[in-house]
Structure 1
Amino acid sequence: MQSRRQKRLFSILLVIGLIAGAIGAMLFALSQNINLFYTPGQLVQGLGEGKIKPDVGQRLRLGGMVVPGSVKRDATSLKVSFDLTDDSGEIATVEFEGILPDLFREGQGIVAQGSLKSATVLAATEVLAKHDEEYMPPEVAEAMKGIRHVPPSQLKQSERSSANYGG
């Protein structure tokens, strides 16, 4: 017959083992769904100190600027391909089938999500276009005509105190 201490120790070790197994299973399942972000330069040269390059077939996100003159559309379908570049000068190609966002245009920053088809070609399932940080909805722009807006960080101390107290 086992003593009470041995039963407690066995049950505690069993619970710890089950928790470790559950965490391991979750991490294994999540590793298939993690999307790493790369720029074209990182895609070609590698990411981090170890210069780790993604494997063909790996899901990832690729961000950069659309190279002017590189957009090629298929006349009979929604297939489109275009090149992306970043400040490193490296170029990666994105192939996408679907409707591109309204803000998509050459010279614009985009993020494409999909799987790597070859070392520098991404088969995208989704394309997101970045908007300019100066963007303002037309209604707001119309309402603000004639109003000069200065961010508080650019006001002098005397202007801040009068702006705060209306004096």
Structure 2
Amino acid sequence: MGFMTQTDTSAAPDSILSAGTPAPDFTLPATPDQTLTLSELRGNPVVLVFYPADWSSVCGDELAVFNQSLPLLSEYHAVLLGISVDSTWSHQAYRQSRKLEFDLLSDYHPKGEVSKLYGSYDEKSGSSKRSLFVIDGDGVISWSYLSPVAINPGVNGVLDALDELKKSAT
């Protein structure tokens, strides 16, 4: 783990989980009748994209960039998951309207429970903070980044972190 997060991981309320931390396991709805459990994805890297809300312009831009980057992410055998506090019904409509090719998980009830585990919940707005996590095949966070809510962080940091994971595995 020769690389650091780009996040202040002090005790400040803005801190998110940092590199070297075991990723908290969770099971969240991917559709109204299907769930996904993080630990079932072990063996491959997982990219978690926490975002504030479906239907917002910055979130739409951010998720579109990740959607366009799916071929690059697949080169690393990475699984991409979006997470927000919106309902599965909102996610379904949003995925269809934006033609997103990856799962959006609903952290709706109890509201923000998984976001809170990752330090990625904003109590004031009642939504997920805009944050990114790369989890290695063993379930350990290898990189994390907290972005200002109005800024699309893009995918470059994630790709760099996946590249570092690939180098350390060889």
**Taking structure 1 as the reference length, what is the TM-score of the superposition?**
0.24
**Taking structure 2 as the reference length, what is the TM-score of the superposition?**
0.24
Higher strand share: 1
